[in-house]
Amino acid sequence: MPVDEHVLLRDGVLRVAELMAIAAKTAPKAKGIDNIVVSLVRDRNEIDRLAKKMEELAEYYGDFMARDAENVRRSVAVLLIGAKIVDLKLRQPPRYSTEVNTVMALVNLGIALGSAVKTASMLNVDNRIMFSVGVAAQELGLIDADFAFGIPLSATGKNIFFDRKWPRR
């Protein structure tokens, strides 16, 4: 009996999400110290809970949270990638306006995010890095990190992250 297209695409996206997590965790890091945290939201109820939290947060952060919530709702899964601030025993450069360990955590996070979405792109899974998802995920306790972003994942005939609609208010 053939496997249904929906099942094939869903399972494929979930496999790619696992490979993205590997790419994020193995990405280069400052002083080789691993401060990257990954988590995968794949349960439909959890995805909906995440989207609802984003809609709630739109009152404070702005309408983009509600717009992004719709993308989350339409996604197969959401990969969460975060970074913890760790003491790297670096001297504070006098011209840095931000604490050096915070800077390095964010640099590591950016490299991990880039590695993850590169993997998704190479394997034809549509994705978009979203600050909004990370904020909501932290609020819900879905990831234990000082900074977090979310990457909703989809594989459909048209990229759901392109031509996104702003919510009507």
State whether residue 32 is helix, strand or coil: helix
At 169 the pLDDT is 59
Q: 132: closest CA among 89, 85, 78, 95?
A: 78
Q: What tokens appear for 123 in the block?
A: 């394997």
Whole-angstrom CA distances from 160 to 7, 109, 164 are 18, 25, 7
At 75 the pLDDT is 98
pTM for the predicted model, two decimal places: 0.95
Q: 20: closest CA among 79, 75, 62?
A: 79
User: What does residue 36 show for φ and ψ, rounded to 5 degrees?
Assistant: -95, 135
- Which tens digits make up the pLDDT trace of 22-48? 999 999 999 999 999 999 999 999 999
Measure the CA–CA gap between 20 and 38, rounded to whole angstroms: 10
Measure the CA–CA gap between 150 and 99, rounded to whole angstroms: 24
Is residue 92 pLDDT above 90, yes or no? yes
At 163 the pLDDT is 79
Is residue 165 pLDDT above 90, yes or no? no
- Which tens digits make up the pLDDT trace of 93-136? 999 999 999 999 999 999 999 999 999 999 999 999 999 999 99
- Which tens digits make up the pLDDT trace of 135-147? 999 999 999 999 9
pLDDT > 70 in the chain, percent? 98
Check whether domain 5-153 has CATH 3.40.109.10, yes or no: yes
Delimit the domains of the chain by residue range: 5-153
Longest distance between any two alpha carbons in the chain, whole Å: 66
